[in-house]
Amino acid sequence: MRCWGAAGLGWMLDSWAAGKAAGMLADSSNLDINAVNKQGETALMLAAHEGYTGLVVNLLGRPDLDVNLVDIEKGWTALMSAAEKGHHAAVKALLGRPEVDINVVSKGGNSALMLAAG
């Protein structure tokens, strides 16, 4: 597993917000889509947490994306982050991938449904 560091993932999110990341995401040879920062968060997790639904959708288009990775701190998936933040469109996009495991339980004992309910 490759580690990007917070600066690399932050740059990607900032670039997406500025509309510059689409070409980078299309080039699978130059990007480890499952790379993590020091907290074990992937680009998908960060995009879901921030509610960047367009980026979530683009990332979900990558066949090499692991949608069920969990972060180090809380044991949360991207679905859990989007659900807890109330980002309904991102949740819907994530649930569109058949391999998304809705039954993952975090270190705190919560599922995505429990986090969505508050």
Query: Which candidate, 34, 26, 29, places its Cα nearest to that of 3?
Result: 34
Each residue of 14-28: pLDDT tens digit?
Answer: 655 545 555 555 455
Q: Tell me the per-residue pLDDT of 61-79, one tens digit each, with 9 for 90 and over.
A: 888 999 999 999 999 999 9
Phi-psi map region of 71: left, alpha, beta (phi>0 left; psi -120 to 50 alpha) = beta
Q: Letter for the amino acid at 8? A: G
Distance CA 50, CA 57 (A): 13
pTM: 0.82
- What pLDDT score was predicted for residue 18? 47
C-alpha atoms less than 13 angstroms from C-alpha of 61 in its C-beta half-sphere: 11
Q: What tokens does 101 get?
A: 């495991």
> Are residues 16 and 54 in contact, defined by beta-carbon separation less than 8 angstroms?
yes
In this structure, which topology does domain 6-117 adopt according to CATH? 1.25.40
The residue type found at 104 is V
